């Protein structure tokens, strides 16, 4: 059980053009959701009473889309420089004068509640709080490719956000700040105005997304869980001359009867992936009563399930399908089926298994009334506390 935090508000600065990261990085996807959504959600989850998100003029639609279905935030428009954007956010936010305000860069998406707790706690004793990390690498001065000196790193820190101040402290410090001078961050502005700003422990995961390669590193920091889902399907044999199994058409003296192409292997696999996500079953997504799926290729169903997984920032780890029938012989087609699934799922071949068994002439498969299929799918899904919901959203 986490302890309640004091009442606070927040400003998330998402007004940059992000040229070094190759475009406006605050709208780019990280772990299946826009960068800006991560920290806005973290602040709301921690109990922020009011969150003002400062965006560039013209980016309102992108922001609304990125923050879809979250409540407790509103937009303000940014200025020419970061300091102006923050001040616009403060004006939009308003008092109370003594309410703590966290000022955070959207480019640091992986905001943890622990950092929020630490900066808020520091405000009981000082005028401001700055999360920071010690500098671990030794520092050198250099010119061209030659070392020209060294830098003592004992009192150097890598500053992060969110930085915390009471509303009146930060607004009056900005009022005293010379308008023509760029301000790196709010800690500098408050400190120059005579305030005491405390350094509290930051978090390596709060890294700033600056260069394109930073996204891959941030992805690796997102906590993920392994999930397993299973699926089962059966179809009845009827007159025909070929059968679809695991995305491959096999000549046979019968076919499987169904609303779609009756590929029981793909149906079981689709259900396994949906099952791992807690996202219903194939019938919810493709009702058999809907005429548009009559005769449909079951590739569509499988691809749809994978797209829903990708949209949640998830990925497949491996799949394992078992076909249960006396005939046709599956073994000669197994490799083709694996290759087809590997292609459809963008998985390496050794992460795709297709197996077959008979039931030794017992039961409906043994009597040749129908074919059954079972499937397992293992997935990785980002852990987002309340963000994932029941899978009905984005
Ligand atoms: Mg089916």
pLDDT in tens, 271-281: 999 999 999 99
Average confidence (pLDDT) over 351-364:
97
Please indicate, yes or no, if residue 314 is contained in any of the structural domains: yes
323 Cα to the center of ligand 1, angstroms:
13
Q: Is the pLDDT of residue 22 over 70?
A: no
Number of domains in the chain: 2
Residue 154 has a pLDDT of 84
Residue 385 has a pLDDT of 55
Q: Is the pLDDT of residue 106 over 60?
A: yes
The phi and psi torsions of 288 (rounded to 5 degrees) equal: -65, -15
pLDDT in tens, 154-190: 889 999 999 999 999 999 999 999 888 888 899 999 9
Residue 390 has a pLDDT of 44
Q: Is the pLDDT of residue 19 over 80?
A: no
259 Cα to the center of ligand 1, angstroms:
8
Please indicate, yes or no, if residue 219 is contained in any of the structural domains: no
Q: Is the pLDDT of residue 252 over 90?
A: yes
**Percent of the chain scoring above 90 in pLDDT:** 79
Do residues 259 and 379 both lie within one domain?
yes
Average confidence (pLDDT) over 288-305:
90
261 Cα to the center of ligand 1, angstroms:
9
Do residues 234 and 299 both lie within one domain?
yes
Do residues 252 and 105 both lie within one domain?
no
101 Cα to the center of ligand 1, angstroms:
55
Do residues 195 and 267 both lie within one domain?
no
CATH code at 244? 3.30.1330.50
Of 192, 212, 232, the position where a domain reaches its end is 212
Please indicate, yes or no, if residue 205 is contained in any of the structural domains: yes
Environment class of residue 104 by beta-carbon count within 10 Å: exposed (0-12), middle (13-18) or buried (19+)? buried
Of 157, 177, 212, the position where a domain reaches its end is 212
pLDDT in tens, 339-352: 999 999 999 999 99
Structural domain span for residue 175: 9-212
260 Cα to the center of ligand 1, angstroms:
8
Q: Which residues, other chains included, contact 152 with Cβ-Cβ below 8 Å and sequence gap of 6+?
A: none
Do residues 231 and 208 both lie within one domain?
no
Do residues 299 and 331 both lie within one domain?
yes
Give the span between the Cα atoms of 313 and 322, in whole angstroms.
28
CATH code at 157? 3.90.550.10
Q: Is the pLDDT of residue 393 over 70?
A: no
Do residues 208 and 259 both lie within one domain?
no
pLDDT in tens, 177-223: 988 888 889 999 999 999 999 999 999 999 999 888 999 999 999 98
321 Cα to the center of ligand 1, angstroms:
14
Do residues 198 and 325 both lie within one domain?
no
262 Cα to the center of ligand 1, angstroms:
6
8 A C-beta contact, residue 272 and residue 264: no
393 Cα to the center of ligand 1, angstroms:
25
Work out whether strand 197-201 and strand 128-134 pair parallel, antiparallel, or are unpaired.
Answer: parallel
367 Cα to the center of ligand 1, angstroms:
19
285 Cα to the center of ligand 1, angstroms:
13
Residue 1 has a pLDDT of 53
176 Cα to the center of ligand 1, angstroms:
70
Please indicate, yes or no, if residue 4 is contained in any of the structural domains: no
Mean pLDDT over each residue of the chain, to the nearest integer: 92
Of 169, 185, 212, the position where a domain reaches its end is 212
Residue 293 has a pLDDT of 83
Higher model confidence: residue 392 or residue 250?
250
Do residues 242 and 171 both lie within one domain?
no
205 Cα to the center of ligand 1, angstroms:
44
Higher model confidence: residue 19 or residue 56?
56
Please indicate, yes or no, if residue 341 is contained in any of the structural domains: yes
Residue 284 has a pLDDT of 94
Q: Is the pLDDT of residue 237 over 90?
A: yes
Please indicate, yes or no, if residue 16 is contained in any of the structural domains: yes
Dihedral sign of CA atoms 304, 309, 315, 317 in order: negative
258 Cα to the center of ligand 1, angstroms:
7
Please indicate, yes or no, if residue 294 is contained in any of the structural domains: yes
CA proximity to 323, closest of 288, 357, 368, 278: 357
338 Cα to the center of ligand 1, angstroms:
19
Residue 387 has a pLDDT of 40
Please indicate, yes or no, if residue 393 is contained in any of the structural domains: no
Do residues 32 and 127 both lie within one domain?
yes
Do residues 161 and 254 both lie within one domain?
no
Dihedral sign of CA atoms 376, 382, 387, 392 in order: negative
Do residues 198 and 321 both lie within one domain?
no
278 Cα to the center of ligand 1, angstroms:
19
Q: How confident is residue 73, by pLDDT bands cut at 50, 70 and 90?
A: very high
């Amino acid at each position: 059980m986490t302890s309640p935090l004091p009442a606070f508000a927040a400003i998330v600065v998402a007004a940059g053009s992000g040229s070094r990261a190759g475009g406006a990085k605050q709208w780019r996807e990280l772990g299946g959701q826009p960068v800006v959504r991560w920290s806005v959600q973290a602040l709301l989850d921690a109990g922020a009473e009011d969150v003002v998100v400062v965006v560039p003029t013209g980016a309102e639609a992108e922001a609304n889309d990125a923050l879809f279905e979250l409540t407790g935030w509103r937009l303000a428009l940014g200025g020419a420089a970061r300091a102006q954007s923050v001040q616009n956010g403060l004006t939009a936010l308003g008092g109370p004068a003594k309410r703590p305000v966290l000022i955070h860069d959207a480019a640091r998406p992986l905001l943890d509640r622990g950092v929020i707790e630490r900066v808020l706690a520091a405000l009981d004793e000082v005028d401001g709080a700055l999360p920071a990390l010690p500098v671990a690498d030794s520092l050198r001065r250099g010119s061209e490719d030659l070392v020209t000196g060294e830098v003592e790193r004992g009192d150097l820190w890598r500053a992060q956000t969110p930085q915390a101040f009471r509303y009146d402290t930060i607004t009056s410090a900005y009022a005293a700040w010379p308008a023509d001078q760029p301000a790196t961050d709010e800690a500098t502005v408050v400190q120059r105005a005579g305030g005491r700003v405390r350094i509290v422990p930051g978090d390596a995961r709060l890294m700033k997304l600056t260069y394109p390669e930073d996204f891959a590193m941030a992805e690796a920091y997102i906590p993920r869980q392994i999930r397993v889902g299973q699926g089962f399907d059966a179809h009845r044999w009827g007159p025909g001359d070929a059968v679809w199994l695991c995305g491959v058409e096999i000549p046979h003296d019968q076919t499987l009867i169904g609303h779609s192409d009756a590929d029981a292997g793909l149906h079981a696999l689709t259900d396994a992936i949906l099952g791992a996500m807690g996202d219903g079953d194939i019938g919810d997504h493709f009702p058999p009563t809907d005429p548009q799926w009559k005769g449909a290729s079951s590739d569509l169903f499988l691809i749809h399930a994978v797209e829903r997984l990708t949209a949640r920032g998830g990925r497949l780890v491996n799949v394992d399908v078992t076909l249960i029938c006396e005939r046709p012989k599956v073994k000669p087609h197994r490799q083709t089926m694996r290759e087809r699934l590997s292609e459809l799922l963008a998985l390496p071949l050794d992460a795709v298994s297709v197996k077959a068994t008979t039931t030794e002439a017992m039961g409906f498969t043994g009597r040749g009334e129908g074919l059954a299929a079972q499937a397992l799918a293992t997935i990785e899904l980002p852990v987002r506390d309340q963000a994932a919901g029941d899978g009905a959203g984005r």
